């Protein structure tokens, strides 16, 4: 933010008649606007401003002209003005032709983006400032302005702006209540992920796009794509073209172009895609196309550790994937490796004996060799926590450890200098249907880590939507609204999400956000379900279920 | 169809090398193309044709230039070429610029629409002929051609065309297998409805649009919009502006413009919207805005039969709605009228005594007076079956009786000369979650009606998605795939849907159609669920669950 604008902002804040605390808890009666996730710092007033349906985009800064900004503006205008009548659109058009002058308070949205870099990597600057005020003598900064260092910060600001805009059914116009607004915001964690699993059930491209679109509404920023697993191998890998013979059917597949389109679609929404190839366990489906990857027909996973072919295939897959996935993190899995059948396979047993390896040594050997392949392709490896707990001191120091099993694994991993992603199954596995929203919300990734320098190694967290019993028909309602609870935990300040009676301070906003998702076509389930994705038990309002 | 084209068609059929019977049952191995619902008459061959991603639309006939046709073509191109890589699009663009000539078999789709009328009413001609063949010496009619009398027939033909087009993952192109195709098709019933209930749970506009879009995929053609009920009154009615105070919240509402937009959106897909105002029962929410409509505070429905004000309000609502809903049918409800509390309300009791009315007489009086209001506004009244069983001989002869309760009510209604809509709760109520797809499929609206002239009075059927436990989060997966079973029953010939082992002849196609819905972003639930909308019990292919 430029120094001058900062000065103006301070003036602006000073002049605002009513400044609420950044933690003012909305009461159910005082029901608008509700923001989700809660911005770091905000103040509001008592004005109600009308927004012109023909609101124009004014861009500034080196990155303002980005097509990412323009496309996002168009998307959000579609969302904000959904209810505005065709008459209003007509009037807007007339106004645009300068034939009539209407009296809207907000007629333009100015988006200032300082950097022209559109690189989307871990830790990209997502901060933004959003100001909304009437043009008059009191406020020197008029209309609506989003200022950000990157286009991705601007996207977050647009989302917040869209949440300030409410359709008023009496005047049939879009209004912003409690203006002037001044919001300064940035995420607490740089990695805020959602895992989807396209191996247990294939998810069509349109459905993955629906998921990505919905993530942007909650300011999540990493789609962890668990592409393949033991059940199916849906992705095309040109170097080893038989691999996707392991798909469920000839239609349940992703071409390279499909995957690239998903990455492009996600980038337009400021979301990185982290691909996962889970080795050496969870890989039985690879052998459908290349049976040599199976130690034997009765031992189909873990992959055959003895053959160079196995690592050639991994290298080939990673070469192909590197062209699709620009994100610096790549997930190599490494979880739940049951090596029993290695011991029972003659040639593997001989290989182990020849190297004087236990099966655990062989597991380590496999994971470390796969890590080096990923690193050689300029990727930072991510592995599930078993790799750390089994042979942590041998892992490449760049490794990001992903928690799922043991509550304090991030604590242990960061103590050893590793970075960590929190996604404990007891709290943040979305396929655990008996975990309610408040448990998700109250789970703190930094628990037990006091040293600020160690806290920084927890790059964030992730909610995991494992696909065994979640296909296209139920995946979105299993994700939402609970993923939103984790999203606020990871975005907002720790103080903001950790104090007060959340039934009073958070639940009404979460109800509101769930209905916002519904209004945007996302089938988020009732908030007050005891079991996730259960339908409502009877008639009622979205805001009360 | 013009006589000349008919001649050509006969020639075409004659020349086709392989003609399959119109009931050829696809085997699981022979898995493409699967059409749903099954066309009345079709023949296929053994060619595989590639479809140009830059396929051009050629229109002919008085109605060919309709924006409805153009918009549908664009929608279906988006569906058909979803997987085609950006490279293919690029090549297509180059080709379009005439710089390179590619060798696709199908480079244009010709749509001939004879009538320029876009009126969408009950019984509108939805027939079409679809031909797909390679241009060569054998087939005198080349490329792909849809011929229809109306734009709505053309829409049905486009849907069928889209189901013939399959993305081939090996060549990465869209192909049509088993060409040449000759399909002549029309619906068995003119009314093929789906009820949605926006009173028990509010459904956002985007969700209603998702439902309408999905209906078009199964060739359903009436959205029965059960707008209001005792729980909430979401619709704006300018003449009585307090009525929508009975909405659940200030946001769970439809403006007149919202409703008009839904009607417009549906019309673009050849779907009529039949509105319902269910009187005198199921109307408690009306009194939130106008308490005088309640007989008393302890008797809030049925509506107060004694006051002219009650009928003034109905008339006002219908005047407002007439401007929104052009469909000739309007549903006045009339079901489940429990008049007990009328008897216990002093002024109603006196009114009854003064007229020497039983409460049943008063119920009849109410329904008939409401019917006359609807008729005066140029609507054909539809009523639930209790009106027929209670006082059928007094109903206006134009009344369409809608079945829900008694299995043979259509039989009885048509015997008295009334038209009837079949939607028996035991089979076609989608909120009955224990009804499986095969029960839905095997239910025949004409059962027990032998006389062809009486059969004609059964205008069709309707699956009903009552909303008590189906909100935005689950409505689409409760509707699909079972609604598709009814859709084929109502579209295809009675012979086609009534013979053979449906587990062999129908189930594989229904699996395929469910996955088609998934691929188009519609969260249709597994077909083989014992209870509707249950998630899959474990990992697996969409085509096998």
E-state strands within B201-347: 222-226, 272-276, 329-331
Please tell me the distance from the alpha carbon of residue B497 to that of residue B505, in angstroms, as a whole number: 9
How does pLDDT run across B365-389, given as a tens digit for each residue? 999 999 999 999 999 999 999 999 9
Q: What is the pLDDT of residue B499?
A: 81
Eight-class DSSP state of A216: H
Contacts of B341 (CB under 8 A, 6+ apart): B295, B296, B298, B299
- Tell whether the model's pLDDT for residue A475 goes beyond 60: yes
Q: Is B248 on the interface with A (CB under 8 A)?
A: yes
ipTM of the complex: 0.92
Chain B's closest residue to A477, CA to CA, is: B473
Note the helical H segments in A377-526: 385-391, 409-415, 425-428, 437-442, 452-455, 475-479, 482-491, 494-498, 502-505, 507-519
Contacts of B211 (CB under 8 A, 6+ apart): B194, B196, B203, B223, B475, B476, B479
CB contact under 8 A, B543 and A169: no
Chain A's closest residue to B264, CA to CA, is: A86
Give the pair of three-digit tokens for residue A513.
């956000």
Half-sphere exposure of B96 (CA within 13 A, CB side): 13
Let me know: does A269 contact A216? Beta carbons within 8 Å. yes
Half-sphere exposure of A296 (CA within 13 A, CB side): 12
Beta-bridge partners for B185: B128
Q: What is the pLDDT of residue B143?
A: 83
Q: What is the pLDDT of residue B32?
A: 55
Q: Is B381 on the interface with A (CB under 8 A)?
A: no
Q: Is B250 on the interface with A (CB under 8 A)?
A: yes
Which among A250, A254, A263, A471 is the top mutation candidate for probing chain B, defined by the most B β-carbons within 10 Å of its own β-carbon? A471
Let me know: does A373 contact A322? Beta carbons within 8 Å. no
Taking alpha carbons only, the member of A317, A330, A302, A461 closest to residue A399 is: A330
Chain B's closest residue to A516, CA to CA, is: B204
Taking alpha carbons only, the member of B54, B189, B172, B86 closest to residue B460 is: B189
Q: Is B202 on the interface with A (CB under 8 A)?
A: yes
Let me know: does A224 contact A274? Beta carbons within 8 Å. yes
Let me know: does B97 contact B89? Beta carbons within 8 Å. no
Q: Is A433 on the interface with B (CB under 8 A)?
A: no
A381 φ/ψ angles, rounded to the nearest 5 degrees = -80, 140
Neighboring chain A residues of B533 at a CB cutoff of 8 Å: 473, 535
CA distance A199 to chain B (A): 8
Return the residue matching tokens 């107060």.
B304
For A52, A270, A513, the CA distances from A57, given in Å and listed in that order, are: 12, 19, 26
- pTM of model > 0.90: yes
Task: Please count the other Cβ atoms lying within 10 Å of the Cβ belonging to residue A305.
Answer: 23
Please tell me the distance from the alpha carbon of residue B130 to that of residue A403, in angstroms, as a whole number: 56
Please tell me the distance from the alpha carbon of residue B487 to that of residue B35, in angstroms, as a whole number: 12
Let me know: does B60 contact B191? Beta carbons within 8 Å. no
* pLDDT tens, chain B, 545 aa long: 344 444 444 444 433 333 333 333 333 335 456 999 999 999 999 999 999 998 999 999 999 999 999 999 999 999 999 987 554 555 556 555 545 556 889 999 999 999 999 999 999 999 999 999 987 655 544 589 999 999 999 999 999 999 999 999 988 999 999 999 999 999 999 999 999 999 999 999 999 999 999 999 999 999 999 999 999 999 999 999 999 999 999 999 999 999 999 999 999 999 999 999 999 999 999 999 999 999 999 999 999 999 999 999 999 999 999 999 999 999 999 999 999 999 999 999 999 999 999 999 999 999 999 999 999 999 999 999 999 999 999 999 999 999 999 999 999 999 999 999 999 999 999 999 999 999 999 999 999 999 999 999 999 999 999 999 999 999 999 999 999 999 999 999 999 999 889 999 899 999 999 999 999 999 999 999 889 999 999 999 999 99
How many residue contacts between A and B have a Cβ separation below 8 Å?
194
Q: Which residues of A are identified as catalytic?
A: 336
CB contact under 8 A, A521 and B210: yes
Please tell me the distance from the alpha carbon of residue A479 to that of residue A522, in angstroms, as a whole number: 10
Neighboring chain B residues of A526 at a CB cutoff of 8 Å: 471, 473
CA distance B28 to chain A (A): 12
Chain A's closest residue to B204, CA to CA, is: A519
CA distance B508 to chain A (A): 14
Neighboring chain A residues of B82 at a CB cutoff of 8 Å: 205-206
Give the pair of three-digit tokens for residue A454.
């160690």
Chain B's closest residue to A536, CA to CA, is: B469
Q: What is the pLDDT of residue B15?
A: 39
For B31, B118, B526, B529, the CA distances from A201, given in Å and listed in that order, are: 20, 42, 12, 16
Phi-psi region of A544 (alpha: psi -120 to 50; beta: other; left: phi over 0): alpha
The residue count for chain B: 545
Q: What is the helix (H) or strand (E) element at residue B176, kind and residue range? A: strand B173-179
Q: What is the pLDDT of residue A282?
A: 97
Let me know: does B294 contact B310? Beta carbons within 8 Å. no
For A258, which of B83, B470, B524 is closest by C-beta distance? B83
How does pLDDT run across A173-190, given as a tens digit for each residue? 999 999 999 999 999 999
Return the residue matching tokens 């069983």.
B389
Task: Please count the other Cβ atoms lying within 10 Å of the Cβ belonging to residue B353.
Answer: 9
Q: What is the pLDDT of residue A314?
A: 98
Neighboring chain B residues of A83 at a CB cutoff of 8 Å: 205, 255, 257-258
Neighboring chain B residues of A472 at a CB cutoff of 8 Å: 518, 523-524, 542
pLDDT band at A143 (very low <50, low <70, confident <90, very high): confident
Q: Is A193 on the interface with B (CB under 8 A)?
A: no
Contacts of A452 (CB under 8 A, 6+ apart): none
Half-sphere exposure of A288 (CA within 13 A, CB side): 19
For A473, which of B251, B477, B537 is closest by C-beta distance? B477
Considering only residues 104 to 163 of chain A, which have any Cβ-Cβ distance to chain B shorter than 8 Å? none
Sheet holding B143-148, edge to edge: B41-43, B181-185, B128-133, B143-148, B106-113, B47-60, B173-179, B165-168
Let me know: does B11 contact B140? Beta carbons within 8 Å. yes
Considering only residues 505 to 524 of chain B, which have any Cβ-Cβ distance to chain A shorter than 8 Å? 515, 518-521, 523-524
- Give, in degrees to the nearest 5, the angle at Cα B78 between B72 and B80: 100
- Tell whether the model's pLDDT for residue A544 goes beyond 80: yes
């Amino acid at each position: 933010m430029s120094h001058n604008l900062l000065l103006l902002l301070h003036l602006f804040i000073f002049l605002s008649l009513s400044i609420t605390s950044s933690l003012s808890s909305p009461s159910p009666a005082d029901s608008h606007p509700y923001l989700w996730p809660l911005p770091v710092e905000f103040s509001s007033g008592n004005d109600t401003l009308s927004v012109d349906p023909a609101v124009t985009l004014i861009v500034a800064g080196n990155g303002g002209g980005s097509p990412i900004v323009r496309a996002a503006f168009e998307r959000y205008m579609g969302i904000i003005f959904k209810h505005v009548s065709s008459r209003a659109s007509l009037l807007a058009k007339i106004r645009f032709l300068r034939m009539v002058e209407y009296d809207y308070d907000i007629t333009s949205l100015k988006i200032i983006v300082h950097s022209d870099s559109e690189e989307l990597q871990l830790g990209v600057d997502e901060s933004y400032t959003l100001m909304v005020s009437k043009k008059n003598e009191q406020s020197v900064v008029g209309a609506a302005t989003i200022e950000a260092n990157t286009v991705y910060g601007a996207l977050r600001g647009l989302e917040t702006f869209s949440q300030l805009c409410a359709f008023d059914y009496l005047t049939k116009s879009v209004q912003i209540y409690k203006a002037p607004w001044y919001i300064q915001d940035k995420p607490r964690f740089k990695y805020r992920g959602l895992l989807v699993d396209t191996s247990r059930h294939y998810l069509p491209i349109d459905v993955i796009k629906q998921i990505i679109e919905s993530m942007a509404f909650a300011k999540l920023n990493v789609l962890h794509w668990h592409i393949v697993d033991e059940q199916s191998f849906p992705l095309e890998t040109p170097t080893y073209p038989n691999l996707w013979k392991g798909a469920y059917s000839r239609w349940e597949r992703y071409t390279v172009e499909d995957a690239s389109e998903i990455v492009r679609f996600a980038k337009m929404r400021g979301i990185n895609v982290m691909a996962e190839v889970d080795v050496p366990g969870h890989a039985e489906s690879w052998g459908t196309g290349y049976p040599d990857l199976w130690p034997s027909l009765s031992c189909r996973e873990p992959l055959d550790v003895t053959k160079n072919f196995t690592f050639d295939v991994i290298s080939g897959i990673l070469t192909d994937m590197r062209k699709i996935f620009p994100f610096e993190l790549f997930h190599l899995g490494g979880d739940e490796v049951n090596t029993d059948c290695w011991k029972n396979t003659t040639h593997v047993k001989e290989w182990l004996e020849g190297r004087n390896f236990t099966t655990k040594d062989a597991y380590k050997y496999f994971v470390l060799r796969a890590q080096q392949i990923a690193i050689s392709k300029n990727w930072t490896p991510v592995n599930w926590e078993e790799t750390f707990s089994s042979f942590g001191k041998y892992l490449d120091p760049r490794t990001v450890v992903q928690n799922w099993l043991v509550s304090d694994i991030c604590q242990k991993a960061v103590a050893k200098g590793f970075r960590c992603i929190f996604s404990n199954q007891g709290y943040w596995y979305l396929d655990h249907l008996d975990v309610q929203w408040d448990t998700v919300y109250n789970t703190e990734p930094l628990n037990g880590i006091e040293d600020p320098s160690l806290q920084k190694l927890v790059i964030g967290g992730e909610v995991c939507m494992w696909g065994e019993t979640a296909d296209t028909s139920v995946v979105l309602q299993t994700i939402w609204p609970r993923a939103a609870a984790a999203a606020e935990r990871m975005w907002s300040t720790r103080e903001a999400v950790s104090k007060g009676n959340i039934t009073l301070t958070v639940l009404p906003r979460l109800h509101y956000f769930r209905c916002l998702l519904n209004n945007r076509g996302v089938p988020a389930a009732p908030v007050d379900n005891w079991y996730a994705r259960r339908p409502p038990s009877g008639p009622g309002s979205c805001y009360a279920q």
